[in-house]
Structure 1
Amino acid sequence: MSTAIDERSLDTLFRTARTHNGWQDKPVPESLVRQVFDLAKMGPTSANCSPMRVVFVTTAAGKERLKPALSAGNLDKTMAAPVTAIIAQDTQFYEHLPKLFPHADAKSWFTGNDAMIQATMVRNSTLQGAYLMIAARALGLDCGPMSGFDLKKVDAEFFPDGRFQTNFLCNLGYGDPAKLFGRSPRFDFDDVCSFA
């Protein structure tokens, strides 16, 4: 665990990886989607709470269900993507803590504490969504995360009982480099970081 990964791997995960807006007409097999999740689930969450829930939208019928919730700018690229992951969060994630964190009564930390449930759920499902993207890149897929959609419409269509709530969407597949925008600037370390 103390050995840095090689330069090519760093490029794949971060330096040359891009947010894709266009997709090659190349399917993503279910077996690969499962591998992506099996890597992503290993990322750390507080008290191993693992609140992320995912619907992998892969069919034409599933895309039609998602379509009314998409903003105009995200419509075409989402319809063309082989997979759209609905990254959601379980509002009752703490019910699973006796299994996921068995060495303490972690469920009691959350029961009746709505503020703590909300903060923990959103923070950790977002982290897990990021792990999912890194796992996808590590396994040769490209990613296109999005916020431009109607959360309430997605929740009503895919999570009507209200237990799960959508966090964000992420298209997955094999990106079309011809449809990439130029890379946007990033901050330098000294612009946003300090030591204390």
Structure 2
Amino acid sequence: EAGGAQCPWCGATVDVNLLKEFSKGKRLNVRLQTSFCESHRKKSAMVTWESKSYPKVDWASLEDRFKKHHEHLVDIINGEESHYRTALADKIEQHQARTMEKEENLNPGYYGPRGFNMMCDYLVKEFSDMLKKKAVHDKVIASRGSAVFIQSVLVAELGVQLIVEDMDVSPEKARQILEESKALGELVHAE
């Protein structure tokens, strides 16, 4: 039975054999310590991923899936009620930080930074002209700009729609999964 050892970087308990295999009996320099830490965290994330039955993301077909939600996103741009649009409007009302808050994790749940970047690229390509026109009369878009609207409203809404499809859940449950799976997404689907 494998005993526990401590990750030399983060101090978490890790499988002693995993550490031995990685270090090959040598002392780990800082670069190797961080590399080992990243490796064991990713392994652990994959175990959690599987236990929660999150899907394997088919990156090649993802943009085609985005397109299926075009109308829904247009409706949100046109002012239709949306959880994330309302959240942004509330922040604007309360005069919260005008810049993107560094600690605010905008990743679309288990899609992670890789999914965030793909979604942003798609949304900018599809909607930036429309958003510029809308900003003239829409204070939610205008007050923070198109980029912030895309990142904090449209990415989240698109992420929720994809999770609804992936997990066969309600939008409310999908929002919960999106929030709960952000840390996993960062580990499993980094840039």
Q: Same fold (TM over 0.5)?
A: no
Q: What TM-score, normalized to structure 2?
A: 0.30
Q: What TM-score, normalized to structure 1?
A: 0.29
Say which one has the larger Rg: 2
Larger helix percent: 2
State the structure with bigger RCO (CA 8 A, min sep 6), 1 or 2: 1
